[in-house]
Amino acid sequence: MKRDEAPVRIEAVYSVPPAAVWQALSTAESLRGWSFEQVAAFRPEPGFETCFVVASGGREFPHRWTVLEAEPGRRLVLRWRYDGYAGDSIVRFELEAVAGGTRVVLTHQATADFPADIPEFSRENCEAGWRWLLDSLGRYLAGRK
C-alpha cells in the first residue's frame, strides 16, 4: 500500500445493534474470536497500544496498533503498523445504526509507504484481508445473537 493511493474502503451491514458490533471491536476476548487470536490485550482508549505477531508466507509481522479515537458504538480509529517494516497507516471503523442492524464502514489509509516487494503489503492483499476479516466479524456476530 502506498500513501498516495486512495484508501481501502469496505462496507458491511450486520443484523445486530451498534453496541454489539462495538463490543466485538473493543475487547481483546472478542477480537480473538473473529480477527487475530494473538491479540493479548486491547482497550478502546486513546493512547492504548498493543503488539502481537502474525506469521504469513514464511515471515513474521509484528502488528502494532495504537488507539487514536474511540467513541463507543460509533467509531474506532487505530494507527496500524508493523514493527521492523517501513510503512504506517490509519484504520477507521465507522458504525451507523440502520434498519435492522449496523453498517460498518472500514477505511484503511496508508500514511507512509509499505514495502512494495512484500506481497502481504499489496493493496490487493489488504483488500482481501479486510473482506475476510469483515466476513469473519459477521460470522462471529451471528453466533452471538
Reported confidence tier of residue 57, pLDDT bands at 50, 70, 90 = confident
**Cell digits for 89?**
497507516
**pLDDT score for 96:** 98
On whether the CB atoms of residues 12 and 104 are closer than 8 A, the answer is yes
Give the Cα separation of 63 and 50 in Å (integer).
8
CATH superfamily of this structure's domain 8-143: START domain (3.30.530.20)
Mean pLDDT (whole number) for 93-110 = 98
**pLDDT score for 74:** 98
> Mean pLDDT lowest for which of 14-28, 54-68, 89-103?
54-68
Amino acid code (one letter) for 42: F
pLDDT in tens, 22-46: 999 999 999 999 999 999 999 999 9
145 pLDDT higher than 60: no
What residues does each domain of the chain span? 8-143
Three-state SS at 51: strand
Give the Cα separation of 75 and 107 in Å (integer).
11
* Closest CA relative to residue 76, chosen from 133, 24, 134: 24
Mean pLDDT (whole number) for 121-140 = 96
144 pLDDT higher than 80: no
On whether the CB atoms of residues 27 and 42 are closer than 8 A, the answer is yes
Q: What is the pTM of this model?
A: 0.93
**Cell digits for 20?**
454489539
Give the Cα separation of 113 and 118 in Å (integer).
12
Average pLDDT score over the chain: 95
